[in-house]
Amino acid sequence: MRVNVRVNGEQRQADDVWEGESLLFMLRERLGLPGSKNACEQGECGSCTVYLDNVPVCACLVAAGQAQDREVRTVEGLADGDALDPVQEAFVEAGAVQCGFCTPGLVVAAHDLLDRVPSPSDPEIREALAGNLCRCTGYEKILDAVRLAASRR
Ligand code: FES
Ligand code: FES
């Protein structure tokens, strides 16, 4: 089937999508957007988090066909050209990125949190990021990054 979807502000089209295909596969393999990562494919790790109509979802759990005529924003779409989003910048500056596999999902989840709660408490940050697993950082640098981003927005 053909899927028409708006991705990062651009109208895109994917052909030969099969019924069971995930939004994550379509984004990465058909639309050339490898930012969202495929770690568990079971909705457990959050590395594939993208916005679907402004709501963060695990793209591995959404069928590609469900995105028809909807709006998707991936981690690539948070930057403004070459200028990183403040959340992306903060992750780099705070040293919150090691292998980087979890980072795109964490950045989208943190971006969503700060849109809803501009000055979150530590428990609010932890709760918002509870669905995003990181095997490298021990999470402290990630918390630092979100606090830093909040202080700049
Ligand atoms: S790859 Fe989607 S939640 Fe892990
Ligand atoms: S930086 Fe490696 S999993 Fe988070």
pLDDT tens track for 37-70: 999 999 999 999 999 999 999 999 999 999 999 9
Rounded to whole angstroms, the Cα distance separating 94 from 145 reads 5
Is the CB of residue 102 below 6 angstroms from any atom belonging to ligand 2?
Answer: yes
Fold match between 3-78 and 86-152?
Answer: no
Please give the share of the chain, as a percent, with pLDDT higher than 90.
97
Give the position, in ligand 1's atom list, of the atom nearest the Cα of 46.
Answer: 3
Question: What residues does 13 pair with on adjacent strands?
Answer: 4
Query: Distance, CA 59 to ligand 1 centroid (Å)?
Result: 7
pLDDT tens track for 60-110: 999 999 999 999 999 999 999 889 999 999 999 999 999 999 999 999 999
Rounded to whole angstroms, the Cα distance separating 4 from 128 reads 30
Q: Kindly list the domain boundaries of the chain, sorted by start residue.
A: 3-78, 86-152
pLDDT score at 20: 95
pTM, two decimal places: 0.96
Pick the CATH number of 86-152 from 1.10.150.120, 1.10.630.10, 1.10.10.10, 3.80.10.10: 1.10.150.120
Q: Does domain 3-78 have CATH number 3.10.20.30?
A: yes
Say which DSSP state 95 is in.
T
pLDDT tens track for 120-137: 999 999 999 999 999 999
69 Cβ contact list (under 8 Å, min separation 6): 4, 5
Query: Distance, CA 151 to ligand 2 centroid (Å)?
Result: 23
Query: Distance, CA 108 to ligand 2 centroid (Å)?
Result: 15
